[in-house]
Amino acid sequence: MNPPAANPPAVTRLRLRITAAAESIVRGGHPWLFADSIHELNRAGQSGELAVIFDRKDKFLAVGLFDPDSPIRVRILHAGKPATIDAAWWQTRLEQALDRRREGFDAGTTGYRLIHGESDGWPGLVLDRYDTTLVLKIYTAAWLPRLAEITALFREKIPADRIVLRLSRNIRAVAEKSFQRRDGQILLGEPPSGSVVFLENRVRFEAEVLQGQKTGFFLDQRENRREVESLARGRRMLNAFSFSGGFSVYAARGGALSVTDLDISAHALDSAKRNFALNTHFPGVASCRHETVQADAFEWLGTGGTLFDLIVLDPPSLAKRATERDGAVRAYERLNSLGIAKLAPDGILVAGSCSAHVPAGDFFDAVRRAALKSGRQFRELKTLQHPPDHPAGFKEAEYLKVIYLQFPA
């Protein structure tokens, strides 16, 4: 009888060839290869294995993570010269992401994004820091077979007490069935007892890391919150779609007279109250009148009532897919018209969009149209897009945009 083989039989590398159009897209650095661009595959691929893409001259073009269950069939890790994707390679990739943030934050900010998916070279993966808790969120099942490996790497390179795993909705079933992984699972350390508190520009916030939206907080609005703080003095502020009141606490610290948080979710508003309470050591927060309104913002804004001097409108994405883009643009225009009607003379509108399917220019134009249609004088103060810890390295990654308009008396 033959002795058992020391190694399992080598599986041939997954190799594929793609259309000419896709070749130039990949060569240009785009991180997604769609299933319909693949015209040759040497065998069936497994989720998460490395797929090597060859060009028409049979030369190495790129290598990426294969995902048989997603229309984005390969998420490119590397394109250009041939490279070996081994432990050292992953380590270098991580260090690049960490280095990019090294200068950006002082001790007053302990909550920020360490890895922002494709744009940091980690396609479909996000890593957020909330004080000593790391939250790892994955958006593709291709990471599931690699979780142990990357968790070990994060643990070695990033000081933290705890790592929490979050899964996008579409991969929860396969994660549970094939990998015994759950959304909210603790990968390292002990579960938190309640919310995790962290600092953003010295403001204390709670993050609901086990089950909150995104990874528990909207870290991407840090720069806009700072702006809002600088505009808030003496103003009555409305924060529509407030979630946990991020913009509101900053406005209060900046001297807002009053802040009204408006959200459809009672749970979000409870968190907003706690975030206010966490910051009463700032005189502005202690003296600011804070109220919460649980309502549909579109309906509530359409009813009469008091006017505000500063209105933040930061709704959830209004276009979940490309086909919803035109409808979303109309919805943004309508929403902002409703907001402008609630603005007192000299009021400021801060209008945001996080819909990747609505380009920044289309969104800004929708808000400007709403302003023009109001018949009021207005001037544009500024626009802001992605903060440095949420880089957007390709067009589809550009989701965040905010425009500031003032309507003089």
How far, in Å, CA of 12 to CA of 17, rounded?
Answer: 15
Give the footprint of ligand SAH on residues 267-306 (CB under 6 A).
268, 296-298
For position 263 contacting ligand SAH by CB under 6 A, the verdict is: yes
Size of the site for ligand SAH (CB under 6 A): 18
Nearer to ligand SAH, 73 or 214 (CB): 214
Least CB distance to ligand SAH at residue 297 (A): 4
Indicate if the alpha-carbon torsion angle 375, 376, 380, 386 is positive or negative.
negative
Binding mask 196-225 for ligand SAH (x = CB under 6 A): ----------------------x--x----
Query: Residue 327 interacts with ligand SAH (CB under 6 A)?
Result: no
CB nearer ligand SAH, residue 229 or residue 263: 263
What's the min distance (Å) between Cβ of 293 and ligand SAH? 9
Residue closer to ligand SAH by CB (options 175, 403) is: 403
Copy the structure tokens of residue 257. 């007279």
Considering only the stretches 262-270, 284-292, 371-379, 381-389, report the one whose residues sit in contact with ligand SAH under the rule CB under 6 A. 262-270
Pick from 160, 264, 307, 384 the residue near ligand SAH by CB under 6 A: 264
x/- mask, ligand SAH, residues 222-261, rule CB under 6 A, reads -------------------xxxx-xx--------------
Which spans of this chain sit near ligand SAH (rule: CB under 6 A)? 218, 221, 241-244, 246-247, 263-265, 268, 296-298, 314-316
